Amino acid sequence: MSIRKTLFSVDEYYHVYNRGNSKQIIFHDKFDYERFIKLLFISNSKNNFVMRNIHKDIFYFERGSLLVGIGSYCLMPNHFHLLLKEREEGGLSKFMQKLATSYSMYYNKKYNRTGGLFEGKFKAEHLAKDKYLKYIFSYIHLNPLKLIDKNWKVCKVKNKEKFLDFLKRYTYSSYLDYMGNIRPENIIINYESFPNYFPRRESFEREIFEWLSFNDD
């Protein structure tokens, strides 16, 4: 049995991510993305649940005590990124187990497959320093730009408005929540569990723009 290198501690922050087995696609259509996003909300609870017994307005489900604080998320076709804070001992691992198990069951049934969906255990990086924690907010939310230019990080971004417009239309991350959009998914993010780096939409937008301008002369 492999031993996890990162041990989780209460009130500490972690960048958590995983991808499909052999880099396979894990989100094929909007229903897959939406299912995982709903599971982000419903899995963050000490209570067990059965999806078919929950009302369609899942974001109004009473969860009780939370396992983790969720600071940001982004789903990509073959992987996902989460920023989490452990709220109680063992909470992060329980949350990830519920999330991965529930989505794998849904996926395997829908696509008539068996076996593990994800590439082993989820990966986690401890964000011990404030500068890394703040950086991860941008890193996670900028991930979708790889879909329009995989080399955008190493090349000068010539048309920033094009990139920003793409992020504003990408609904499978928490970017829109930090931009002040009102939508049911707002409730997934536990702002109170994280430092208030972006007290206003403008401060978040400025941070993102600065990262897009990083390679400017």
65: in domain: yes
Is 147 within 8 Å of 80 (Cβ atoms)? no
Residue 201: domain span: 13-212
Domain count, the chain: 1
Write phi, then psi, for 66 (nearest 5 degrees): -90, 150
Q: What is the distance between the alpha carbons of residues 194 and 70, in angstroms, rounded to a whole number? A: 9
pLDDT grade, residue 1 (50/70/90)?
very low
Is 189 within 8 Å of 177 (Cβ atoms)? yes
Per-residue pLDDT of 121-143, as tens digits, reads 999 999 999 999 999 999 999 99
Decide if pLDDT at 186 tops 90.
Answer: yes
5: in domain: no
Length of the chain: 217
Write phi, then psi, for 70 (nearest 5 degrees): -105, 120
pTM: 0.92
Give the helix ranges, DSSP H, for 86-181. 91-110, 130-142, 160-169, 175-178
Per-residue pLDDT of 149-168, as tens digits, reads 887 776 766 788 888 999 99
Which three-class secondary structure state does DSSP give residue 38?
A: helix
Q: What's the CATH number where 105 sits?
A: 3.30.70.1290
Q: What is the distance between the alpha carbons of residues 176 and 168, in angstroms, rounded to a whole number? A: 7
Which tokens sit at 159? 């048309």
Euclidean distance between the first and final Cα of the chain, in Å?
A: 50
Is 89 within 8 Å of 30 (Cβ atoms)? no
Instruction: Give, in degrees to the nearest 5, the angle at Cα 8 between 7 and 14.
Output: 110
Lowest pLDDT segment from 2-11, 13-22, 40-49, 56-65: 2-11
Is 8 within 8 Å of 32 (Cβ atoms)? no
pLDDT of 2? 44
8: in domain: no
